[in-house]
Amino acid sequence: MGWSMGVGKGIERIDALQKVLGNCLFAGDIRMEGMLFGVVVRSNRPHAKILEIDDKAAWEVPGLVKIITHKEIPGRNRFGVLRKDQPYLAEGYVRYLGEPILLVVAQDERSARRAAKRIKVVYQDLPIISDPQEARMGTPLRDGGNLLTQKRLIKGNWDKGFEDSDVIVEHHYVTHFLDHAFLECEAGVGYMEEEGQIVIISSTQNIHYKQKEVAALLNMPESKIRVIQATTGGGFGGKLDVTVEGYVALGVFHTKRPVMVRYTREESMLSNTKRHPLSIWYKSGAKRDGALTRVQVRIVGDTGAYASYGEVVAQRACVHATGPYEIPNCYVESLMYYTNNPVAGAMRGFGVPQMAFAHESQMDELAQLLGMDPLEIRLKNCLRKGSSTATGQRLDHSVGFEDTLKAIEPYWRERDFNKNTGHGLGSMYYGIGNTGVPNPSACFLTLRPDGLIGFHLGACEIGQGSDTVLMQILLEALGVEGKSVVLVRGDTEASMDAGSTSASRQTYITGRAAFEAALKLKGYLEQKGFYKGRDLKEIYQEASTEGMLRFDGFFDPPTTPLDPNTGQGIPYATYAFATHMSQVEVDTSTFRCRVRKVIAAHDVGTVINPVTTKGQIYGGIAMGIGLALMEEYVPQRTKNLNQYFIPTAMDMPEVKVILVEDPEPTGPFGAKGVGEPALIPQAASICNAIKDATGFRPFELPCNFERLCLLGEKERAIGSQK
């Protein structure tokens, strides 16, 4: 690992070799002496009172050690990212199928599962609310009613009618629950140190948040809880909420022995949070020349039984509802309701992929009415330098959206018009980091007696490549070689809070924090003659007497809170932009769609590592194909991956990635982010391509052959009536 690891180089990921060799331990691979196994007993009813729990038969299973109920929780039996509303273990009442009731701890996994199966729970069923429309009118599921949150975004003369528009397009779009289907199911191991500290090693996207939640659960100070991130096999937002950590902690607390909790795929699909289904009513108006005049959008979402990231998704969907276009007048209302469905939480894009499906369909429909080319209408309205976004934020720098459209243009102009083949565009913008709230990141560097620099990082590497990219930023800023730096990562004991690995924020925010720390250390090292060849061990000696062994870096992107009435403000310091063009082939007999080719142009700011950036985009496209054509989680019905179809390599199209770099001044070396932007425009571009190929437009996702066939039959019936 030499100096060539710097910014802009497509270096090999620093974790690649150990992963390929199988040396990295995932939480589920960890074995400890005397380790017990915990299994969560879950509700098999979507809404019920628990009348009685009979565990007699379970105690007949040899190896059963402990059954833990909510009564054995020493601290707060509630968790949640914004609202602490979700119980770890039910208190006589369950709100969704799969809600945890008890924790069974046994000598080994087989005994634990056997004992868990023998526990009898007597329920009294209660009426179910399975749809946000019912939730709006129906019996309240909790005090304060079923409405979790209501967000609004208004701009310009939003209350005027559409009289100023020459054309109006109005449609209703529907999306469904999705599962993250990460490769590695949730798993964690915990143990107790001699001094009573509880250590949890788990598959997670945010160690510091988990530390706080577990401390509250056990009623222990945070210093007594240490969370370490195991090698993590994907997250996509599904490992942001507390998953196994609470149960591991409870097991360790009560048995004082090491405990593992590891979900099967069925448990994972039953219990994990899902992508929010959104129902979107979208009305757009434009002038004859294609200039957008106004939009009116109503979004109704289903957050399931608990809040989780429901408010975040409602807010993000609202802010991003207009898409990457300059629209003088808009009214957007975003409502999120509780139901008895699975808990919907964070999933790659926080509601924006759903919104992109709607706003990009609208753009193509407008173009068609106006007889305009879909690319032209986007170029006509695109956000540029100096544009004002829907929240009234003036964009002064790093607005590469037009460049992404221009990058796609030659491919769009030369697209071939084969039979049964369609082409579609999808564009998006995405605010990097959390919405209108502080979301700082901190890290620190140390000088070590062994003459190395310690890079202490609290950011979770979940497979996306943040370790590599952050290391590249550090090395470039510090002007040292990779072999001089030791990465100490993913341990609350040895790092500061970097915030969650979510919202495409680690490269931009933690990257900038690393950059800041590097500048401080660099200043010190310059002073000490390091760059003139002085040895780091020598410098360490001096630094330890001077008390200069640690250099902190911190960054919090400049944002303002959104006005609660109008939604106006500066929710994000910077935005990523992208345009995808998809070529889709539709089999006219079977209505089966295959994506053949994708051109993806992204403005991610400065590219730190072109190889991992492209990797993110390939993965986003795969996930977008799933969202558009295959993936659908049906509550109470979908149980495993044989019923939930994620694309395989065989479904991948030929992909060409074009990286447009419009540097972001506040980012490290000008970088922004790509994690979620990679996915967001993909499904939208596929739906536009399907319309191009078949003449009919999907309004509901996923657009599998079933839906497309019924749509085709309907269109044919309408056609024959005419």
Partner 1 sequence: MLPEFKCVVPRSIKEALTLLSENECKVIAGGTDLLIELQHQDIAALLVDVTKIPELMWGPEDRPFLISPLYTHGFVAGSAMIKDTFPSFALACSKVGSPQIRNMGTVGGNIGNASPAADSIPPLMIYDARVRLISSSQERELPLEELLVDAYKTQIRKDEVIASVSITPLPNYRQGYKRLTIREALALSRLSVAYAIKEEGKRWLDVRIAIGSATPVCIRARELEEALSGELKDLDLLNQAIEQTILRIESQVNVRESHRFKLPILRNLLREILWGGAWE
Residues that bind partner 1 (CB under 8 A): 109-110, 113-114, 117, 264, 588-592, 594, 629-630, 642, 645, 647-651, 704-707, 709-710, 712-713
CA distances from 110 to 62, 283, 311 (A): 10, 55, 39
CA distances from 620 to 236, 627, 677 (A): 10, 10, 8
CA triple 223-228-230, angle to 5 deg = 170
Work out how close the CB of 16 gets to partner 1 at its nearest, in angstroms, rounded to a whole number: 25
Smaller CB separation from partner 1, 565 or 648: 648
Taking the C-alpha atoms of residue 157 and residue 154, their distance in angstroms, rounded to an integer, is 8
Work out how close the CB of 59 gets to partner 1 at its nearest, in angstroms, rounded to a whole number: 17
Taking the C-alpha atoms of residue 584 and residue 49, their distance in angstroms, rounded to an integer, is 49
Residue at token pair 């399975």? 130
Contact 115, 103 (CB under 8 A): no
9: exposed, middle or buried (Cβ count in 10 Å: 0-12, 13-18, 19+) = middle
> Which contacts of 642-647 are long-range, i.e. CB under 8 A and separated by 24 or more positions?
644/179, 644/181, 644/269, 646/181, 647/622, 647/623
**What b-and-e string marks burial along 547-584, b requiring 16 or more CB atoms within 10 Å of the CB?**
ebeebebebbbebeebeeeebbbbbbbbbbbbbbbbbb
Smaller CB separation from partner 1, 114 or 423: 114
Contact 248, 38 (CB under 8 A): yes
The token pair at 694 is 């078949």
Question: Among 370, 371, 363, which residue's Cα sits nearest to residue 425?
Answer: 363
Smaller CB separation from partner 1, 6 or 28: 28
Smaller CB separation from partner 1, 603 or 631: 631
Work out how close the CB of 228 gets to partner 1 at its nearest, in angstroms, rounded to a whole number: 26
The token pair at 437 is 């709230």
Taking the C-alpha atoms of residue 162 and residue 169, their distance in angstroms, rounded to an integer, is 11
Work out how close the CB of 637 gets to partner 1 at its nearest, in angstroms, rounded to a whole number: 12
Smaller CB separation from partner 1, 565 or 642: 642
Taking the C-alpha atoms of residue 609 and residue 7, their distance in angstroms, rounded to an integer, is 7
Kindly give the residue spans of alpha helices, DSSP state H, lying in 531-571. Answer: 536-546
Work out how close the CB of 233 gets to partner 1 at its nearest, in angstroms, rounded to a whole number: 19
Smaller CB separation from partner 1, 29 or 109: 109
CB atoms within 10 A of CB 224: 16
213: exposed, middle or buried (Cβ count in 10 Å: 0-12, 13-18, 19+) = buried
CB atoms within 10 A of CB 152: 17
Task: Tell me, rounded to whole angstroms, the distance of Cα 99 from its chain centroid.
Answer: 22
Work out how close the CB of 705 gets to partner 1 at its nearest, in angstroms, rounded to a whole number: 7
Smaller CB separation from partner 1, 63 or 712: 712
Smaller CB separation from partner 1, 262 or 602: 262
Work out how close the CB of 114 gets to partner 1 at its nearest, in angstroms, rounded to a whole number: 7
Contact 630, 707 (CB under 8 A): no
Residue 700 one-letter amino acid: E
Work out how close the CB of 442 gets to partner 1 at its nearest, in angstroms, rounded to a whole number: 42
CB atoms within 10 A of CB 4: 10
Smaller CB separation from partner 1, 303 or 704: 704
Taking the C-alpha atoms of residue 655 and residue 657, their distance in angstroms, rounded to an integer, is 6
Work out how close the CB of 111 gets to partner 1 at its nearest, in angstroms, rounded to a whole number: 11
Smaller CB separation from partner 1, 56 or 413: 56
Work out how close the CB of 204 gets to partner 1 at its nearest, in angstroms, rounded to a whole number: 23
Work out how close the CB of 634 gets to partner 1 at its nearest, in angstroms, rounded to a whole number: 11
Smaller CB separation from partner 1, 100 or 653: 653
Work out how close the CB of 201 gets to partner 1 at its nearest, in angstroms, rounded to a whole number: 22
How many Cα atoms sit within 13 Å of 9 on the Cβ side? Answer: 18
The token pair at 294 is 């106004």
- Dihedral sign (CA 312, 315, 320, 326): negative
Smaller CB separation from partner 1, 167 or 622: 622
Contact 437, 183 (CB under 8 A): no
How many Cα atoms sit within 13 Å of 42 on the Cβ side? Answer: 21
Task: Tell me, rounded to whole angstroms, the distance of Cα 72 from its chain centroid.
Answer: 33
Work out how close the CB of 476 gets to partner 1 at its nearest, in angstroms, rounded to a whole number: 41
Smaller CB separation from partner 1, 263 or 575: 263
Taking the C-alpha atoms of residue 651 and residue 629, their distance in angstroms, rounded to an integer, is 11
Work out how close the CB of 632 gets to partner 1 at its nearest, in angstroms, rounded to a whole number: 10
Smaller CB separation from partner 1, 576 or 708: 708
Smaller CB separation from partner 1, 42 or 226: 42
Work out how close the CB of 629 gets to partner 1 at its nearest, in angstroms, rounded to a whole number: 8
SS3 assignment, position 261: strand
